[in-house]
Structure formats: C-alpha cells, structure tokens
Chain A
Amino acid sequence: MIELTINGKRHELDVEDDMPLLWLLRDELKLMGTKFGCGMGICGACTIQVDGEPVRSCVMPVSAARGKTIITIEGLGGSVGNGKLHPVQQAWIDEQVPQCGYCQPGHIMAAAALLESNPDPSDEEIRKEVTNLCRCGTYLRIFAAIRRAAGRDGGGSGS
C-alpha cells in the first residue's frame, strides 16, 4: 500500500513500488490530464508538481513520491473541477498558446513551478528554463504567456 496526496485528496493505493507516477495517475486514478509522450523524461508532456517541484512523472516511481504532495493539471487551479484557473492557465488562454494542445498541461505545470521559484524571470531565463517539447512549435507563445503570468506584457500577439 502506498499513500499519496493528489490534488488535495489522500489516496491509499495497492500498486507496485516501481510503477511510474504517470501510469498511476492515468490508469489507476483516471486523471487523464497528464500526458504520455516519451516514457524517458525527455519531452515533459507528463510534468506534474511533487512538493512544488516540476517532475517528469513518466520516470518517477511511486515509491519516490510516498507521503508527498502531488499536484496535476486538474488540481492546479485549486481542487479538481472547480473551474478556477491558475494565473498561468489564464495567461495561456490570453496568449492563445495551445495548438494541438497535447503537451500543454506539462508546459503549464512546468511554467507554474518556474514562476514559484523565480517570480520574475528574464526573457533569457525563460528560454533557458523551458525545456518541454512541443511539436506544433508554440514556444514563442509559451514564452509570452510566462511573461504575462509574471505580470509583464506578454509581447505575443494574443487575442
């Protein structure tokens, strides 16, 4: 049995210690917002927050998260399904970031964690700190949305 707090809710789960968090979230708890992209921690589509740190959940075994607090895209704006948006999510809408949208939950979770540790990143820091992949190439709008969420003019050509 493993005990985890996910989006404010405590779970006791009978799963193997080495199961990556991603598959616990998706296939055991049916929290489908966190995406599978590579399974090697490269693309970042599966990014969640564990104790506030951005983590690539496809390579973190559940045993490493024992007793920790986990936030997924569903819980970023508060509790799941409350309809409230985190400022980063709102900035994503304002800058019209997503195209296919598949990688965006991971980007949003990483950006929210970035702004927690560095509330006013420079443009250079943003370019350096954003490491998740996006095949549609929405990177410029991701940078703009992070600037906007940090309280600056996004600088993109949002709606």
Chain B
Amino acid sequence: MSGILNLSPNLLLSRRQFIAAGAAGSLVLGFRLPLAASAAQANGVLNAFVAIDPSGTITVQSPFVEMGQGIYTMMSMLVAEELGADMRSMRTVQAPPGAAYMIVREGERFTGGDESTRSAYEPLRRAGAVARHMLVQAAAGRLNVQPDALTTRGGYVVHKASGKRIAFGDLVADAAGLDVPAEVQLKSPAEFQVLRKTQARLDIPAKTDGSAVFGVDELPDNVAIAVVRQAPVFGGTVKRMRPESVTGRRGVIAVEEVPNGVAVIADNYWRAMKALNALDVEFAPGPAPDFTSAKHEELLRGKLDARGATAEEVGDLDGAFAGADRTLEMDYVIPFAAHTTMEPMTCTALVTDDRCVVWTPNQGVDFIVYAATNVTGLPAEAVEVHTPFLGGAFGRRFMLDFPTQAVTLANRHKGRPIKLIWSREEDTRHDFYRPMLAARQRAALDKEGKLVGWHSRIAGMGPYTQVFPDEVEAHGWDFSVMQGMLELPYRLPNRRMEYVHVQSPAPIGFWRTTGYGPTCYFKESALDEIAHAVGRDPYEYRRELLADAKRECAVLDKAAELAGWRKKPFRKNGTHRAHGIALHNAFDSINAQVAEVSISDDGTVRVHKVYCAMDCGLALNPLNVIMQMESGIAFGLSATLHEEVVMRDGRAVPGNFHEYPILRPGEMPDVEVAIIDSGAKIGGAGEIATCPVAPAVCNAVFALTGKRIRTLPIGTRVAEMT
C-alpha cells in the first residue's frame, strides 16, 4: 500500500529522534553562532538570533513561522525590549535549520501548540540582552568610559552623563568580535518599554500591497507547476494510468505517479489542471472502502458503554455515584473537520546531484529537512529550506505528505524547480482531520444539587496516535484527546477521565486547539446541563465550583460582567436573545466567553456578540492578543455552525467551499475582549479562544429553546428540533 496512511509513521520525527537531534548540538539556547567568528563579525552577527547591519537595521532570526498569529512581530519585540532598539528598525526572518533554534521544550522546534511566545520569552530576550551587552562594551572602549556609565535607547548606546551617543550600526563590527557574556540581567515585566504595549504588526504592510510572498508565490527560475489527483479512498492506490491520454497537450511537461496519487507537471497551473481533469486514471480502494462517518459515529457511541483507559482519577467515583441523590448521563459527538487554509497545500522543490532546496509553508523546518532527506537520500546538510509566509496553517502544515510529493517530483526532474499546488478539492479531501470523537459525561448530584461525582469517557483517537502510535500505545491513552479534561479548575472531589481508543480510517491531524476544543464542548455543555437540571444559574453554578480557582473565577466574572450576564432570555434590537457561558483552561491561559444568540424564524442560529475575557498571564502585545481572540472566535464559530467532513465510500465527500462552508463575513459576531493582566506565567493566545465558542453558543441555544445541541455542527439542527 503506497497510500497516505502508509506515510503516516514518517510524518513527523518522533519525539525521541527530536531530542537526540537537539542534544547532538549545543542547547545553550541560541548562543552557538551559525557562522564562523570572522564571518559573523563581517555580517554584524551578534548571536544566533540577532544581527545588526551598519545602517542599524536589526534582523531577528525566528525559530517560528509566521502563519497569521503575529509571531514575527513578537520575536522582534522580545529582542528590541532588552536591546533598547526602536521597533521601526526591527525585521524578523525565518531562521535556518539548526540546533541553536530548537528552543521549544527539551530542544525541539515547531510552530504550534501555542508554544512560540512561551518558548521564546526567555531566550529571545536573553539574545537581545547579550547583544546589548556587547554593543555597550564596544562603545565603552570607543568612548573610554566604564560600561555602567552607558545605556541603550532607540538604537543607540548613550553615555548617561553627557548624552553622547553612538548608533548600534556603527558599533556592530567591534561588538561582533567581543566575547559573549556568560550572564546577563533581564528586565522585570514592570520595566518593559516595548512589551506589554501594543506594537503594530511588522508583517502587515507587505500583506496589503501584494508583495508578501506565500508558498504559492515562490518563483525560482524556470519553475514548473505540478498538480495532483490523489486516491479518493483513504489509503488507496493508482490502479491504472495512461499518461499518453494527455501528453502532447500545450504546456504539459510530465505525467507521473507520486506518493498517494498522480501528478501532472506543466508550465501553468490551469494547463496542468486541464490535463489532469482529462487524464485517464483509475484508483484502487484502500483498506476501508465502506467507511462512512455515520457508521463511525455509531461505532464511537457504542464504545462509550465499556470502560476505557484511565487518564485521571481522583477520589471515589463509584462511591459518589452509589450514594447520589440523582445522576445524569449526557453524550456528545463532534464530527471530522478540515483545516481549509485559504492557501491550499503547496511546496516548491529543486533537486540537483548534491543539493535539495525546498520552499514551503511548514510548521517546522526540520521536518521538511527530514522529508527531503528521506526522498532524495541526501544528507541533512545538503537540504536548504526557505519558509515564506504561510497562508494559514492551523496544524495542517505539520504534515509531510505534500512536501514528500513535491520533492519526489523534483528528484525525478533534477535541475528544474517544481511547484506543487493542490486544488481546493484535493486540500479538503486529503486533509488530516480533526477527529470525530464521542464523549459521555456522567454526573452524580447530592440532594442540594451539588456535583459530587464527575465521569468523562471519550472515544476516538487523536493526532498523537496518528503521528506517534507506539508512544501512545505504551502510554495507554492519547493525551491529544484528553487534554482540556484533566486537572480541571472546578472542585470535583470524585472524578474519573477515561479514554477509549477507536482507530480512525480517515487520517487525523492537529486542528487549532487539538484536544482542547472538543473537551471544552463536552465539559462546558455538561456543566450547563447539570446547572439547569438542578435549577441553578449556569454562571453562578460554575462560580461555586471555582471556589479554589481564583484566576478562573476572575476570568468567568469578567466575561459575565462584560455581557451584563442574563440568566433568562431577553429582547434586544427587535430580537429574542439569550446568553450562554463557557470557560476553559488551555496552553497555560484561561478564557471565558458569553455568547449572545438569537434564532431566526427559519431556525438559523445567529450569534450577535461574543464577550470574551482572557488571562494569558502577561499580554505581551495587547492588540495582537485581541486579534487572536477575534480570530479564535471566528474559527470556533465556523466549526460550531457549519463544519463537518462527511465521509462516505471510504472517502471525504466535500470538496470546495460550497460543500464545506466556513464562516461567512455576515455571520461574524461583534467581539468585545477584556484582557486580565494577572502577571501569572505566560500563556498562549493563538488557540484558546476557539474552545469556548461551541458550548457558549449551544448553551445559549438551550436557554432560548430548551433544546440541547449534543452533536456538532449546529447546521440546521435547531430548525429540525422545533
């Protein structure tokens, strides 16, 4: 089987390989220079992250990709803060592969899981402080004063007493030859001048005049365009292909098999696509040709009756249920969902006898190196990766299926760059999907309606099982499914969280929030049901459960306060509306939302406004945090209202946007955000706001209609229920 499922074990380096690769190099957090000392000096390179040219432009090497989350701006902010630089002199570029940039966790490098700012906060500030120290040393020598008589400000080293100053650009040649200090003092958050203040995004000007280069825009000399048609049934193969059915057409260069399908290479996308559409090709089905999402849902629901692997257990759950005054049982299902990045999957590759150059949107350059070495047999040092702006990623661009295809083609056409561009239909039908999951929530209540037992059982599989199957099996349960249901802030003295493994015939991937979004829907819907069942206000009921969780309680209160929380439906602007509330912890942050919802006469759910309270410890670029809240809410609402990849006959059915609708502009609710600057450990902001949307909206629908949405998306369900 040469299908895509077969590629999966190689889709990512395993965690073990990662750590080994990191440990082989120096992990001194970026102070191993990528260049020889003399070359570094000539190029104004002060350390692996910071270089300053003679004109004073400061270039920051980012270990992370810019996919819309604003990380390039953040990398420059972190350096500028400690360096004493003007943000207008900063620019951020993508760092090359290398151990110096493996700063995530124990020496990994990828962009996702809200790791970037959390991982970079210390090392990038340190890189700025080190650079500052070296510039100050150089200036002290030049001015013949003690270093502590100097400070840095706005791109200059300034002599405090006289006001005399020297521009960074004039000092950098001297500074680059100096020793790197062993220790530097970093500022405290109270001293920040750049961070914790809104900074305009550095990437935005280029994204308004058409000059920003995305993956599809790469134009190496003589580039040819490749398009693919992949085996429609997951894991299927090419049974028969007659290239001669389209050879000789204008612009067509080659017609060949690639991993998981066939490709046409031409001088123009449209000519390639026209030939592909006319190509005589037949595919053989994969191992699950009868797979349907409807049957898979039944299978998952059935698995909820049996005991699963215990992911967390506290207290005496069985005792709590045995002694309960009443119990509730609530099942929920979320469907397969696609990423549908606006820029479809794309990768450009050039292979020569001794080198491979890859230009591609990715969520980890080292993964691309791995894929390229795998295909070409070249050593890692012979692979060069260029990362343009990503036209969205949301977890999709971790996967190595499309780079593997592009490098395979380039490897056969040595010397000619090949740019692979998937059609929208291929992109939707050959995704690594957010998994379908089924969950059963059970609650034990005492006579006063107090929650004395909480039982959660989730059936399905997560992206960890797709990518690291052996590790997950050894561990016993899939963290990427259970995350968000563990170590809950609510007071739940007797609780058990279980995982039931069910293999998915459709490929599974990381989809913005990974497990946190689904678990938020299960948990916060169930809490709402419980509160209503015991006749309590769902906001007040949560508050009581948060007696031991001050930060969470403050965030919940803030969302309720913004909304002017209403327990009962109300009239506003001629519509009958209700509030729904939800809270979640994810990526070290806390988010609560109140959705204000009405239902039109035809049963369409309309979300007017979302009130959002966010505690990410320190909001380092406040406006960008707000932008991520808006984005996360749009993404979450899109999935809540519309998104579902129906599977039938072993394949994904929807292709283009008319079959897989995403949130339309007119459906976007107003969003009001309050940031709570708690000063706690820094949390992520890119994903969490996607989580509470579904339960907040569904809880509001219940307040309006008395109908509980236990299966997403909402789609036309409300109309069908009433």
Interfacial residues, chain A to chain B (CB-CB below 8 A)? 16, 19-20, 22-23, 26-28, 30-40, 42-43, 45, 72-74, 76-77, 85, 89, 92-93, 96-105, 108, 127-128, 130-143, 157-159
> Nearest CB to that of A89 among chain B residues?
B208
Chain B residues in 8 Å Cβ range of A139: 634, 663, 665, 668
Mark B205-226 against chain A: 1 for CB-CB distance below 8 A, else 0: 1111111111011010000010
Nearest chain A CB to B42 CB, angstrom units = 31
Which residues 320-355 of B have a CB within 8 angstroms of A?
Answer: 340-344
Flag B664-684 by CB within 8 Å of A: 1 or 0 each.
111010110000000000000
B658 touches A40 (CB 8 A): yes
B626-675 CB contacts (< 8 Å) to partner A: 626-627, 630-635, 638, 656-658, 662-666, 668, 670-671
Give Cα A91 to B318, complex, Å: 60
* Chain A residues near B664 (CB-CB < 8 A): 131, 133
Which candidate, B24-32, B51-59, B228-236, B265-273, is the interface stretch facing chain A?
B265-273
Which one of B225, B657, B670 lies within 8 Å of A42 (CB-CB)?
B657
Count of B interface residues, CB-CB < 8 Å: 66
Q: How far is the CB of A109 from chain B (nearest CB, A)?
A: 9
Contact B216–A35 (Cβ < 8 Å): yes
Complex contact A43–B657 (CB within 8 A): yes
**Can you name 17 A-B residue pairings with CB atoms under 8 Å?**
A23-B268, A32-B210, A33-B210, A34-B210, A35-B214, A35-B216, A74-B209, A100-B342, A100-B343, A100-B389, A101-B203, A101-B389, A102-B214, A137-B630, A140-B671, A158-B623, A159-B623
In angstroms, Cα B68 to Cα A66, docked, is 37
Contacts of A73 in B (CB 8 A): 209-210
Known contacts A74-B210, A101-B207; can you find 6 more A-B pairs with CB under 8 A?
A101-B389, A104-B208, A133-B662, A133-B664, A137-B632, A158-B623
Residue in A93, A105, A135 whose beta carbon sits within 8 Å of that of B340 in the complex: A135
With A74-B210, A102-B392 as given contacts, are A157 and B623 in contact (CB-CB < 8 Å)? yes
Residue B554 is within 8 A (CB to CB) of chain A in the complex: no
User: Which residues on A sit within 8 Å (CB–CB) of B627?
Assistant: 96, 99, 138, 141
The residue that B391 contacts in the complex, of A19, A85, A92, A100, with Cβ under 8 A, is A100
> Are B424 and A40 interface neighbours, CB within 8 A?
yes
- With a cutoff of 8 Å between Cβ atoms, the chain A residues found around residue B69 in the complex are 99
B200 interface hit (Cβ, 8 Å): yes
With A37-B424, A99-B70, A140-B668 in contact, do A85 and B208 touch (Cβ < 8 Å)? Answer: yes
Cα(A104)–Cα(B204), bound, Å: 10
**B217 contacts across to A, CB distance below 8 A:** 32
- B582 CB contacts on chain A under 8 angstroms: none
The verdict on A96 contacting B341 (CB below 8 Å), with A40-B656, A42-B656, A140-B670 known, is no
> A143 to chain B: which residues have CB within 8 Å?
665
Given A74-B210, A136-B631: A100 in contact with B390 (beta carbons within 8 A): yes
Which of B344, B392, B626 gathers the greatest number of chain A CB atoms within 10 Å?
A: B392
B608 contacts A by Cβ under 8 Å: no
Is B423 positioned at the interface, with any CB of A under 8 Å from its CB?
Answer: yes
- Does residue B421 face the partner (Cβ distance < 8 Å to A)? yes
Q: Closest CB of chain A to B76's CB: distance in Å?
A: 15
Nearest Cβ on chain B to A24's Cβ, whole angstroms = 8
Please, which residue of chain A has its CB at the minimum distance from the CB of B225?
A27
Closest beta carbon of chain B to A120's beta carbon, Å: 19
At the interface, yes or no: B201 with Cβ under 8 Å from chain A?
Answer: yes
Please indicate the chain A residues that have their CB under 8 angstroms from the CB of B88 in the complex.
none
Closest CB in chain B relative to A7 CB, distance in Å: 10
